[in-house]
């Protein structure tokens, strides 16, 4: 019997994706035949409808800028995805399309691995799908947080050193500084950072963004997005393979 199971990633300008190699290595390690993982680079979200017409499609990951827009195309959301308002993993079963959020799982693992007790307030830089998952996890763990974006009350124009001093966890959720634009960096008052701070930059390519380099120069503890990425991918694999009803 020829069982062809297709997985993949939807996003925009995503040739640099880690997911393809991660899952192809997994298929090899588990000696799984008939599985493939493809990059679906979409310029507009409605192009996903073409994907859905493929009967071999088991599911896919979702990245920037479609984590919120994909919701309109799904039949159901997991509780977490509903609360977060963003989806990064879709399972297709008997024609039913269900959205999950495994970013929350990945971020929580990262946070709990590095967080110290005195770090109980956070600034979230960015307001997209990833930022929503981060805020959900911080709330869940009793860490009060504020969003910093272009249009928020605290924004990139008025964020000052004193504010940064008061928030001991900083989570960088924007794509600024991602490969190939590795010189780019958010406008951020790095002088407010101290060795008391934990900086988590969700970007994994490059390993050390300009943001992380600038933060570590102030003695802050810095973590990139690689572990979160691995963990959310493992969780996605679980969803695709252990949801057989």
Same-domain pairing of 127 and 216: yes
Task: Identify the pLDDT of residue 3.
Answer: 65
The confidence band for 243, taking pLDDT boundaries of 50, 70 and 90, is low
Answer yes or no: is 240 within a domain. Answer: no
Domain housing 169? 104-225
Determine the average pLDDT of the residues in 100-107.
98
Determine the average pLDDT of the residues in 38-49.
96
The confidence band for 14, taking pLDDT boundaries of 50, 70 and 90, is confident
Answer yes or no: is 199 within a domain. Answer: yes
CA distance 38 to 110: 27
For 212-242, write each residue's pLDDT tens digit: 999 999 999 999 999 999 999 999 999 998 6
Same-domain pairing of 93 and 205: no
| pLDDT above 50 for 187 | yes
Same-domain pairing of 109 and 209: yes
CA distance 116 to 176: 27
Domain boundary (81, 101, 121) is at 101
Same-domain pairing of 108 and 9: no
Q: Active site residue: 6, 20, 67, 97, which one?
A: 67
* 67 is an active site residue: yes
State how many domains the chain has.
Answer: 2
Domain boundary (101, 123, 139) is at 101
How many degrees, rounded to 5, is the angle at CA 222 between CA 220 and CA 228?
Answer: 155
Six-digit token string for 193: 């950072």
Same-domain pairing of 69 and 134: no
Domain boundary (101, 117, 136) is at 101
For 129-161, write each residue's pLDDT tens digit: 999 999 999 999 999 999 999 999 999 999 999
| Largest interatomic CA distance in the chain | 64
Same-domain pairing of 108 and 220: yes
Q: Which helix (H) or strand (E) holds 99?
A: strand 96-100
The total number of residues shown for the chain amounts to 245
Determine the average pLDDT of the residues in 9-27.
89
Task: Identify the pLDDT of residue 13.
Answer: 86
pTM of the model: 0.93
- The CATH number linked to 138 is 3.40.50.720
End-to-end CA distance of the chain: 21
Determine the average pLDDT of the residues in 54-81.
96
């Amino acid at each position: 019997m020829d069982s062809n199971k297709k997985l993949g990633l939807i996003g925009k300008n995503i040739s640099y994706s880690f997911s393809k190699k991660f899952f192809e290595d997994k298929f090899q390690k588990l000696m799984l035949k008939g599985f493939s993982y493809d990059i679906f680079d979409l310029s507009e979200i409605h192009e996903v409808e073409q994907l859905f017409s493929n009967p071999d499609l088991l599911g896919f990951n979702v990245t920037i800028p479609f984590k919120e827009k994909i919701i309109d195309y799904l039949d159901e959301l997991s509780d977490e995805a509903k609360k977060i308002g963003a989806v990064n993993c879709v399972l297709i079963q008997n024609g039913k399309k269900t959205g999950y959020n495994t970013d929350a799982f990945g971020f929580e693992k990262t946070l709990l691995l590095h967080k110290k007790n005195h770090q109980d307030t956070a600034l979230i830089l960015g307001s997209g799908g990833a930022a929503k998952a981060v805020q959900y996890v911080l709330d869940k763990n009793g860490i009060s947080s504020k969003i910093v974006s272009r249009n928020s009350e605290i924004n990139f124009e008025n964020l000052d050193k004193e504010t940064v001093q008061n928030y001991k966890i900083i989570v960088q959720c924007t794509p600024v500084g991602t490969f190939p634009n590795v010189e780019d960096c958010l406008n951020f008052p790095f002088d407010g950072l101290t060795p008391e701070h934990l900086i988590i930059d969700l970007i994994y390519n490059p390993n050390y963004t300009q943001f992380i380099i600038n933060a570590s120069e102030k003695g802050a503890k810095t973590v990139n997005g690689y572990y979160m990425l691995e963990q959310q991918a493992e969780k996605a694999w679980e969803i695709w393979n252990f949801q057989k009803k």
